[in-house]
Amino acid sequence: MYCANCGTKLQTGTCTVCGASSPVGAGRRDAVTGLALAGWWLRVGATLFDGLVLVLPEFLIVWAMGNYTSTVSRLPVFALQGFYGVYLLSRPRGQTIGNRVARTRVVSASTGQPITVTSAFIRWFVPAVFSFVFGVGTILILLDSLWPLWDQRRQTLHDKIAGTIVVMV
């Protein structure tokens, strides 16, 4: 099992590096990493909070571009979202601002350690591609968002493809 705060391998219930204690009775634990998996509502809350964080900068980009309906004006918004998610999730904490509020973090599904820039990029890119798929994009995004409700490791489809899980801090 690994510390959800700093990622150090735990020998006992308390981390010898940062002093964090593993939560007792924190719900379902991941069979591979031993970390407490984040529930669906916490994940939704983190995502909604991230949306609130990004809404003003996105609005300013759209306003500066003059037209949100064109693909050209949507690309800078996707770039902002990508930078926000990839940069923050690939940091040692593995948390966006929404994850910090929800007390969750994104880690490698195989090791429980912080994720790489590549994994963070894949994790962002898959839903971005889903949103551009004409006709079925909304269905794919909905399916991706609901997948943790029945998945053993509470992973979305983009988590599975990127090799990540969302755990409690």
DSSP state of 78: H
pLDDT digit string, tens, across residues 95-130:
999 999 999 999 999 999 999 999 999 999 999 888
Of 61, 83, 82, 57, nearest in space to 70 by CA? 61
pLDDT category of residue 165 using cuts at 50, 70 and 90: very high
Of 124, 126, 151, nearest in space to 39 by CA? 151
Residue 19 has pLDDT above 90, yes or no: no
Radius of gyration of the chain (CA): 17
Write the single-letter amino acid at 33.
Answer: T
Are 114 and 7 within 8 A, CB to CB? Answer: yes
What is the arithmetic mean of pLDDT over 70-80? 79
What is the arithmetic mean of pLDDT over 88-98? 95
Cross-strand bridge partners of residue 21: 14
Q: Can you tell me the distance from the alpha carbon of 81 to that of 50, in angstroms, rounded to the nearest whole number?
A: 9
What is the arithmetic mean of pLDDT over 3-22? 69
Of 3-17, 77-91, 146-160, minimum mean pLDDT range: 3-17
What is the arithmetic mean of pLDDT over 151-168? 96
Contact residues for 25 (Cβ-Cβ < 8 A; gap 6+): none
Q: Can you tell me the distance from the alpha carbon of 154 to that of 26, in angstroms, rounded to the nearest whole number?
A: 14
Q: Can you tell me the distance from the alpha carbon of 106 to that of 122, in angstroms, rounded to the nearest whole number?
A: 13
pLDDT category of residue 18 using cuts at 50, 70 and 90: confident
pLDDT digit string, tens, across residues 28-64:
899 999 999 999 999 999 999 999 999 999 888 888 8
